[in-house]
């Protein structure tokens, strides 16, 4: 009896002329490959191990059955990452396909051959198929480091929470000793303590020993995060210095946005596609005569959080364009929460332009520096004249940060000096 979960090649039918496509159902230890003709009829399928030898076997299998144009791979960011890289290197066009939804699986059943065949059909129809990240450049290194930093930051926050919770329930002498301390000062003080090294059963002694170990763990995690950020900085500058020149964008935020876009950001054809990827594109939720949109809860949530941090930093530093936008939309009756959502969409457009133009620096800052040097004014003197920190002006001049307000003030100051000199 033939299994109902297998996909058998169509017998007695001649394959039409044209390029064939393939689909791969990926797993941790095995990949199942299915090839279909241009009409979607199954040609052949086979299972391979997830080893270098197995990947080579998949490539030989595809070439053995004719001219395969595109290969749909499930999970190119996880189990399918290795085979996607090898297929691209071998000259195949790799397409990322979404896994079947539960409703489709209830109708068609589920097995590795069926899933591989559905992946191939998704490539033919174009439904649920996208261009995957190449994951073979510097951005892949950023992804690894950001993932490591995220776990270290989470563990660091958990450690601080545990210290605070222990101080609430600790014996009164311990609570009294550290009641007035908080944050980094508390951790530094706990790390310097020297509780008895004995193995006594007294809760006060055990609490003091535990607090010291937790503080040491917190400091170790902070050192790990600092090391990761030192490694992130040169990679981000090499990949896209333009992002770092934008207001409110730091090293970690830039790295997060680069990871979301991938090594090939050109795969995102429009600004809307990047906004949808970052979860800031409103989704239509209309019905009948009622037309409305709802907030997107999907997309890359790390990228969404990065855009939110940019808005918060621009508000904190009173970035002129941001403050003007808030004032205008408040006058229209919007709440700050709604304005933030709208502003994240506008910032997504700005980030998208920077992703596609990584080599462009801040020309205004460079021109300011050239004018200041022409006039023979030290940067420290100009900073004192403008009543701003020296480093803030330096970051503007070398293109690390965009600062429209400081640009206008510095330009006016240099113009006045030039006018006075000419007079």
Torsion of CA 27, 30, 36, 40, to 10 degrees: -30
pLDDT at 14 exceeding the cut of 70: no
Looking at residue 29, its pLDDT comes to: 94
- Residue 299 or 150, more confident: 150
Looking at residue 12, its pLDDT comes to: 43
d(CA 134, CA 126): 19
- Residue 14 or 8, more confident: 8
Looking at residue 290, its pLDDT comes to: 81
Could you read off the pLDDT of 152-186 as tens digits, one per residue? 999 999 999 999 999 999 999 999 999 888 889 99
Could you read off the pLDDT of 23-39 as tens digits, one per residue? 999 999 999 999 999 88
Could you read off the pLDDT of 92-119 as tens digits, one per residue? 989 988 877 667 677 777 888 888 998 8
What band does 294 get if pLDDT is binned at 50, 70 and 90?
confident
Looking at residue 133, its pLDDT comes to: 83
What mean pLDDT comes out for the span 254-275? 91
Which of 174, 246, 179, 240 shows the shortest CA–CA distance to 207? 174
d(CA 308, CA 253): 10
Could you read off the pLDDT of 115-135 as tens digits, one per residue? 899 889 888 888 767 888 887
d(CA 226, CA 175): 30
Tokens coding 178: 């550290």
pLDDT at 284 exceeding the cut of 90: no
pLDDT at 85 exceeding the cut of 50: yes
pLDDT at 10 exceeding the cut of 60: no
The DSSP bridge pattern shows strands 93-97 and 129-130 to be antiparallel
As a whole number, the mean pLDDT across the chain is 86
What band does 16 get if pLDDT is binned at 50, 70 and 90?
very low
For a pLDDT cut of 90, what percent of the chain falls above it?
42
What band does 362 get if pLDDT is binned at 50, 70 and 90?
low
- Residue 72 or 246, more confident: 72
Supply angle C-alpha 102, 292, 345, rounded to 5.
85
What band does 146 get if pLDDT is binned at 50, 70 and 90?
very high
What mean pLDDT comes out for the span 312-329? 89
Tokens coding 45: 């399928």
């Amino acid at each position: 009896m033939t299994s109902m979960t297998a996909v058998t090649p169509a017998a007695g039918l001649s394959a039409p002329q044209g390029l064939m496509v393939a689909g791969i159902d990926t797993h941790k230890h095995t990949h199942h490959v299915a090839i279909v003709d241009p009409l979607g009829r199954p040609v052949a399928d086979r299972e391979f191990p997830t080893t270098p030898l197995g990947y080579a076997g998949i490539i030989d299998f595809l070439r053995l059955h004719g001219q395969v144009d595109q290969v749909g791979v499930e999970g190119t960011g996880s189990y399918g990452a290795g085979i996607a890289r090898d297929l691209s290197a071998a000259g195949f066009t790799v397409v990322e396909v979404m896994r079947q939804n539960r409703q489709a699986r209830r109708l068609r059943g589920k097995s590795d051959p069926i899933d591989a065949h559905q992946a191939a059909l998704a490539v033919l129809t174009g439904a649920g198929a996208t261009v995957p990240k190449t994951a073979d450049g510097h951005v892949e290194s950023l992804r690894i480091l950001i993932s490591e930093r995220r776990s270290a930051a989470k563990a660091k926050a958990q450690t601080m929470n545990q210290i605070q919770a222990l101080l609430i329930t600790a014996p009164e002498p311990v609570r009294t000793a550290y009641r007035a301390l908080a944050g980094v000062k508390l951790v530094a003080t706990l790390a310097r303590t020297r509780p008895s090294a004995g193995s006594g059963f007294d809760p006060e002694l055990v609490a003091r020993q535990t607090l010291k170990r937790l503080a040491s763990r917190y400091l170790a995690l902070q050192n790990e995060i600092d090391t990761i950020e030192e490694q992130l900085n040169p990679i981000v500058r090499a990949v896209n210095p333009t992002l770092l020149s934008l207001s409110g964008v730091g090293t970690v935020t830039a790295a997060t946005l680069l990871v979301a876009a991938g090594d090939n950001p050109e795969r995102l054809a429009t600004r809307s596609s990047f906004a949808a990827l970052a979860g800031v594109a409103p989704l239509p939720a209309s019905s009948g005569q009622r037309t409305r949109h709802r907030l997107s809860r999907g997309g890359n949530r790390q990228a969404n959080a990065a855009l939110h941090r940019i808005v918060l930093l621009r508000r904190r530093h009173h970035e002129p364009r941001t403050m003007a936008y808030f004032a205008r939309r408040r006058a229209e009756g919007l709440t700050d929460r709604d304005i933030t959502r709208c502003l994240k969409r506008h910032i997504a457009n700005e980030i998208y332009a920077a992703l596609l133009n990584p080599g462009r620096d801040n020309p205004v800052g460079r021109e300011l520096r050239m004018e200041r040097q022409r006039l023979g004014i030290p940067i420290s003197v100009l900073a004192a004249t403008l009543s701003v920190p020296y480093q803030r002006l330096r970051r503007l001049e070398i293109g690390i940060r965009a600062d429209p307000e400081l640009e206008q003030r510095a330009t006016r100051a240099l113009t006045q000096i030039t006018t006075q000199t000419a007079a």
